[in-house]
Amino acid sequence: MFLRSKLSPIFMFRQFKCELTAAEALMFYGSKEEFEIQKDEFMTVAQRLWMTEPSYFKQSDYFSRIIDVVRQVETEIQMSCLSWLGGEEILKYKTAVLNYQRSVIMNNKIYSRWMAEQEYKNKRAAELYNLYTKIIGFLSGIGQVTTGVGLCVSTGGSATVPGSAMILQGLNNIYENGYYLAVYEEASGPLREAYHYAASKAGYGGKQGDIAYGTIDLVLSGYGMARRIPTPRERSWNLFGIRLHQTDYVKGVSNMTKPLFMLEIISDEVTVLSLMPTYNETDLRH
């Protein structure tokens, strides 16, 4: 009994030392269980990453490389070249790297998708704007032809030149805009081609021909609104008609309805915008 009581402190010290050694070993060398947990986390993150790759062959190649990494770490642990804790730290680091790579890929995909949506919206808006301008140009062409015919008829031939010019301009606008509305393709009418030919003979390009065409279009539009229209006798301010040659006139714009006036204004605005120069990135660098 005495001997046992004497040995009890020694036995307890040895047991404490063994437990301390096991704790130190776990602290410095780690455990297989912790390594397996980290390996599962690494494989899960890697699987999420390779699933973002659309190509099946690249997925297979990526999967084989991930398996090679895990096998290499396990081989070094089995050969006592690496502790369980060391392998766990390696996989933990690689897991963090994979998480970062996946976040970058997902952010780029979101950004790319946003860019694609913006590009589609801009393209769609440009198509709608072009469609609206073609509709306006088509209706404006009809108005030009009508106004030109009215000038030739109502003035008794005195305004045949501007009237004929408006008819030709209107017919060309009807052709160009109507062709686009029919087949959704741009077309250059005969009158515009004549402007291009004249510009080329003068040493200029097609853009200058378009500018001349648009300028004449604006001039004819202004003439149509500013021209003097003789009023019928019943609407005339000349109550008694003392002079037979005396005739009252009103401006063409006052004889237009509100829808026609708005159409003319919008058409002129579209023409002005088409005459404005466009610059690309190369032009801005010089």
- The per-residue pLDDT for range 78-92, each reduced to its tens digit, is 887 788 888 888 899
- Number of neighbouring beta carbons within 10 Å of residue 106: 13
Return d(Cα 108, Cα 221) in angstroms, integer. 51
pLDDT exceeds cutoff 70 at 282 = no
Res 37: pLDDT? 92
Return d(Cα 247, Cα 233) in angstroms, integer. 8
Strands (E), the chain: 228-230, 249-251
CB 189, CB 215: distance < 8 Å: no
CB 255, CB 235: distance < 8 Å: no
Sign of the alpha-carbon torsion through 146, 152, 158, 163: positive
CB 87, CB 77: distance < 8 Å: yes
- Hey, is 229 helix, strand or coil? strand
CB 16, CB 70: distance < 8 Å: no
Q: Is 140 exposed, middle or buried (0-12, 13-18, 19+ CB in 10 A)?
A: buried
Res 16: pLDDT? 43
- The per-residue pLDDT for range 69-124, each reduced to its tens digit, is 899 999 888 887 788 888 888 899 988 888 888 888 777 766 666 776 787 788 88
Tokens of 23: 């704790």
- Number of neighbouring beta carbons within 10 Å of residue 214: 19
Return d(Cα 76, Cα 29) in angstroms, integer. 13
Rounded to an integer, the average pLDDT of 132-145 is: 87
- Prediction pTM value: 0.53
